[in-house]
Amino acid sequence: MTDALLTGGNASTEVPLKRRLRRAERTRQVKALALVLPLLVFLLFTFAGPIAGMLWRAVDDREVRQVLPQTVAALADWDGKDLPDEKAYAALASDIVAARASGTIAIAAKRLNYALNGFRTILTSTARNLKTMPEPGAAKETLGKINAAWRERATWTTIRDASGPITGFYLLAALDLVRNVDGAIVAAPPDQAIYRSLFTRTFIISLSVTALCLILGFPVAYLLATLPPGRSNLLMIFVLLPFWTSLLVRTCAWIVLLQSKGVVNDSLHWLGIIDEPLRLIYNRFGVCVAMTHVLLPFMILPLYSSMKAISPAYMRAAASLGAPPFTAFLRIYLPQTLPGIGAGSLLVFILALGYYITPALVGGAADQMISYFIALYTTETANWGLASALGAVLLLATILLALVYGKLVQGQQVTGGMKN
């Protein structure tokens, strides 16, 4: 600015002015970015960083190489076809003696036990019985005597596969896959293969809830969009009040209503309709009812705004051209609500996929969704690798659906009109 003033005194004013404008605009842009920057840095620390950390934990695998460093080094050039040589056994013996002294055996044992059930016992019993380092050249024999598992190839491939520093083990496990002794990816044994059915269950519950929300939400949105504003604003309270009521309050309300000595069962009994209380909660029915109740406003609101945008002139035109009401509805009205249906359904489905609180409180053991297991593995069993891998799968699904949602609502006012 200053040099423009200094040099541009009597020269043709057009070029410096353009340049000055450009420079002013650039300063404005830098200032604008500087205003956004604090939030970006903040979210990096409180949101993106933590999630990146979680994703890293899904592939991080350093426990075994920290506890058994010599063994991992010795197995690096092992072809895996036969039992490893004496060198590896000696390395393992030396690692175990050292790890016992530093008390770190349990760390490796826990990790190896994930891959091979019973490994914890193998490692701890070996550590207990290996009083001193075996004689040079006798490590293989000594270890084999302490625990016959050391004479099996699978024991060694398990250590090798857990050598890290990164692993696909947890991600494979989250998809019910494992590496077999030869390193090929195969289906997990049936007793461990629980995650695909977990995804299916999560998917089915989310889909049922979405369908219920659409069926229940469509007439309501239609009514609200058709009524005169005064009346529809009043009825809108019925949608917004639950929307603003705490999730915990609503879940609590459903338990009070549906439990075996709850309001619904008592009323039905009093009316003489039932003799025995119906089982309405702590099962799939309860989960679907409570989740539909919580998510219904998320369906009604986008449907309402898409229907509000449909001019009644179209329907009148269809009628005047001789279309019967039902045909006009099906061919003229419904197609115009499709973006709203898509946006509402996707929104409900995305929110339902990650649900935790409601199924945890009103569901039975067979109704828990993926979030429940992520929480369980994080806080109860501390299997952080698996928790993170399941989290990665859920996050991927959410992001993909959110991208579709973003495409769908492009141009609609969901981002508060802040698009370019």
Q: Closest Cα to residue 297, out of 372, 247, 364?
A: 247
Which CB sits closer to other proteins, 204 or 404?
404
- In terms of C-beta density within 10 A (0-12 exposed, 13-18 middle, 19 or more buried), how is residue 12 classed? exposed
Number of residues written out for the chain: 420
Which CB sits closer to other proteins, 183 or 406?
406
Which CB sits closer to other proteins, 118 or 406?
406
**Closest separation in Å from C-beta 254 to other proteins:** 6
Dig out the tokens for 351 from the structure.
């929110």
Which CB sits closer to other proteins, 90 or 289?
289
**Closest separation in Å from C-beta 326 to other proteins:** 7
**Closest separation in Å from C-beta 38 to other proteins:** 6
Which CB sits closer to other proteins, 24 or 187?
24
**Closest separation in Å from C-beta 188 to other proteins:** 23
Dig out the tokens for 19 from the structure.
């340049």
**Closest separation in Å from C-beta 65 to other proteins:** 20
Which CB sits closer to other proteins, 166 or 248?
248
β-partners of residue 178 are 186
Alpha-carbon distances of 202 from 59, 206, 343, 369, rounded to whole Å: 24, 6, 20, 5
**Closest separation in Å from C-beta 23 to other proteins:** 15
